[in-house]
Amino acid sequence: MESQILRRIRSSFPILNTRVDGKPLIYFDNGATTQKPREVIDAITQFYRKENANVHRAAHHLSSLATNHFEQARDKLAQFINAKPNEIVWTRGTTEGLNLVAESFLRPILKPGDRIVIAISAHHAAILPFQRLAQQIGAHLDVIELTEAGELNSDQYQSYLQLKPKLVVLPHASNLLGTLYPVKEMVKQAKRLGITTLIDGAQAAPHLVLDMQDLDADFYAFSGHKMFGPTGIGVLYGREALLNSMPPWQVGGEMIESVSLTETRYAEAPLRFEAGTPNIAGAIGLAAAVEYLNGLDRAEIEEHEHQLASYLLQQLKSINGITLLPSGAITLPIVSFYHETINADDLATQLDAQGIAVRAGSHCAQPLMQSFGLHSSVRISLAFYNTLEEVERCITVLRSLCDHQTVTKDDPSDSDSAARWIDQIEQAKDWPTRLNALMGLGSIATDPTLKRPENLVTGCASLTWLKLSIGKGSIQLDGCSESRQITALIQLIKKQIGMGASLVQIKAYLAELGLEKQLSRTRGNAIRRLIEWLESHYS
């Protein structure tokens, strides 16, 4: 893409021109949520400043303005995916759309022994509603696995279809691997046997031109916030006749034709699925996002994303110690990888310290991660506003992190080295220096016998083991984690306990070092979990 066009695109996204701790933001977590162009922000602001009223209710001017705008947004979304407005159900997002199908379509028809097909590479949102339902009713989940190349196993899928499942739930693309699945062909195969299909389009919608007539699935769910629109709004597409044959999931205001105390008639779809006041500003914001996308050359931005992802992939392959997860033949610009010795959370935190936002963890895809034998990985997910320079910067930082941290660890028997690192942590003047020292402290080998099941602490993002030994008049903490930064935290707390500090003093010490504030960006609960654990074991 021409640099002038890219510059113009980037100037539409105010957040891309901000700095994080003095460093330009490099936002590579688009699979989690995308940034918003000014057009979307303005549309929402404009609604609240000038048009705010409830929809489909009052006869006053503002209400009809809001209603018109809200319904025009539905029309725009319908055009965007080549469907009818009555086939567009507003939801909170993909998760709600998938739950709606589970509860309104599937629950009423599911019987004990029936089958539902899902994919191992599905996001939890496309597993749990169906897993729970299957367990409640006594139905069976058939799970399509991946081939070695990272594709959905087509033979397995064919054999599952022969069992006449009540519903097939397929990801359009994997949020972890980026693989784009041949859903059009898979839908066709299911339809030939009269089987209903639901596609999770959360990751595909921001990147692909969607055409419901061409795809021919019965249901398709996606989220506004992943396609440059606001949070709290999404769409469930469903065939009109099918939607009208389904009972509503939630009931209440706005979704009825008539109500008496003994009998209620529900409105036709889509309103029958929109009980209560909808996210009006969200729908209007999402329509603005769609309009923004329509104003871009979609083929051009797709090509740009593809080039960035290819370059990223090629460069990642050249970094020592990094293994890419298998991604299949055709992919979205999403890449997941892990390092042989550096924990994914540690890599993400260190990238964050350089202003680079990536995701680490199990990516709401634990069954898939388990199939790889992994607890966490790093995911870089790109959008059309990302640049080659950003990818190059990320690679440079990653390469340097990987080169420097595979050096031999300090000698565990040398207690001076721990003291030296703790000194550096306490004296550090800025966060990157402190983080570096934390990684140093965390890389000192710990007692391997700590990694026993009885010492495993639940609730930390990385596997963590803690042990408190209470002797006569003395208390000792020991522990370790797959994450060096958490191992370092444990060492800091261990030293404090050794000095006889109280829990209040330990908390104050960690706060003074700014650890909760800084680490919570990527590690969320780690410190809180350690403190909770101490609270229940040590006081």
Q: Which residues are catalytic?
A: 364
Instruction: Determine the Cα–Cα distance for residues 524 and 329; give it in Å rounded to an integer.
Output: 34
Q: Which is nearer to ligand PLP, 197 or 487 (CB)?
A: 197
Q: Residue 105: name the closest of 200, 7, 197 by CA.
A: 197
Phi, psi of 19 (to 5 degrees): -120, 150
Contact 284, 229 (CB under 8 A): no
Distance, in Å, from the CA atom of 237 to the CA atom of 199, rounded to the nearest integer, reads 10
83 three-state secondary structure: coil
Residue number, 52 or 231, with CB nearest to ligand PLP:
231
- Whichever of 290 and 425 has its CB closer to ligand PLP, that residue is 290
Measured from the CB atom, is 217 or 425 closer to ligand PLP?
A: 217
**Alpha-carbon Rg of the chain, whole angstroms?**
26
Shortest CB 171 distance to ligand PLP, Å: 5
Q: Is 223 among the residues that bind ligand PLP (CB under 6 A)? A: yes
Which stretch, 88-96, 160-168, 389-397, 446-454, contacts ligand PLP (CB under 6 A)?
88-96
SS3 at position 162: coil
The conformation of residue 51, written as its DSSP 8-state character, comes to I
Please give the structure tokens belonging to residue 172: 């359009």
Least CB distance to ligand PLP at residue 122 (A): 7
* HEC secondary structure over 308-328: HHHHHHHHHHCCCCEEECCCC
DSSP 8-class letter at 122:
-
Please give the backbone phi and psi of residue 277, each rounded to the nearest 5 degrees, phi first. -70, 125
List the one residue out of 324, 319, 336, 320 whose CA is nearest residue 377.
336
Among the candidate windows 89-97, 416-424, 460-468, 497-505, which touches ligand PLP by CB under 6 A?
89-97
Q: Which is nearer to ligand PLP, 232 or 248 (CB)?
A: 232
Chain centroid, CA 412 distance in Å: 38
- From 34, 175, 336, 350, residue interacting with ligand PLP (rule: CB under 6 A): 175
Q: Which is nearer to ligand PLP, 386 or 491 (CB)?
A: 386
CA atoms within 13 A on the CB side of 381: 26
| 336 binds ligand PLP, rule: CB under 6 A | no
Q: Establish how many alpha carbons lie within 13 A of residue 90's alpha carbon, considering only the half-sphere containing its beta carbon.
A: 28
Binding mask 289-318 for ligand PLP (x = CB under 6 A): ------------------------------
Asked whether position 171 contacts ligand PLP by CB under 6 A, the answer is yes
# residues contacting ligand PLP (CB under 6 A):
13
In the complex, what is the shortest distance from the CB of residue 511 to ligand PLP, in angstroms, rounded to a whole number? 32
- DSSP H stretches of helix in 60-215: 61-80, 94-100, 128-137, 154-161, 183-192, 212-215
Which residue type is seen at 3?
A: S
In this chain, which stretch among 133-141, 196-204, 409-417, 429-437 interacts with ligand PLP, using CB under 6 A? 196-204
Q: Pick the closest to residue 351 from 38, 13, 21, 15 (CA basis).
A: 21
For tokens 């800091």, the residue is 492
Nearer to ligand PLP, 81 or 466 (CB): 81
Type of residue found at 305: E
Cα–Cα distance for residue pair 167/508, rounded to 1 Å:
54
- As measured in angstroms, the least distance from the Cβ of 186 to ligand PLP is 16
Shortest separation between residue 382's beta carbon and ligand PLP, angstroms: 14
The yes or no reply on residue 359 touching ligand PLP (CB under 6 A) is no
Q: String of b and e for 11-32 (b: at least 16 CB within 10 Å)? A: ebbeebeeebeeeebbbbbbbb
Minimum distance of ligand PLP from residue 123's CB (angstroms): 3
Which of 203/327 has CB closer to ligand PLP? 203
| Smallest gap from residue 180 Cβ to ligand PLP (A) | 12
User: Which two tokens mark 505?
Assistant: 């003093």
From 77, 170, 202, 212, residue interacting with ligand PLP (rule: CB under 6 A): 202
Taking the complex as a whole, the smallest distance from the CB of residue 532 to ligand PLP amounts, in Å, to 26
Contact flag: residue 179 with ligand PLP (CB under 6 A)? no
Q: Mask: binding to ligand PLP, 93-132, rule CB under 6 A, as x and -?
A: xxx---------------------------x-xx------
Beta carbon nearer to ligand PLP, 175 or 350: 175
- Residue 380 to residue 393: CA distance in whole angstroms: 13
Phi-psi region of 82 (alpha: psi -120 to 50; beta: other; left: phi over 0): left
DSSP codes joined into one string, 414-450: -HHHHHHHHHHHHH-SSHHHHHHHHHHHHTS---GGG
Residue from 30, 34, 104, 203 that binds ligand PLP (CB under 6 A)? 203
Instruction: Please state the closest distance from residue 333 (CB atom) to ligand PLP, in A.
Output: 14
- Residue 96 vs 478, nearer CB to ligand PLP: 96
Q: Is the peptide bond before 270 cis (omega within 30 degrees of 0)?
A: yes
**Least distance (Å) from ligand PLP to the CB of residue 95?**
3
**Contact residues for ligand PLP (CB under 6 A)?**
93-95, 123, 125-126, 171, 175, 200, 202-203, 223, 364
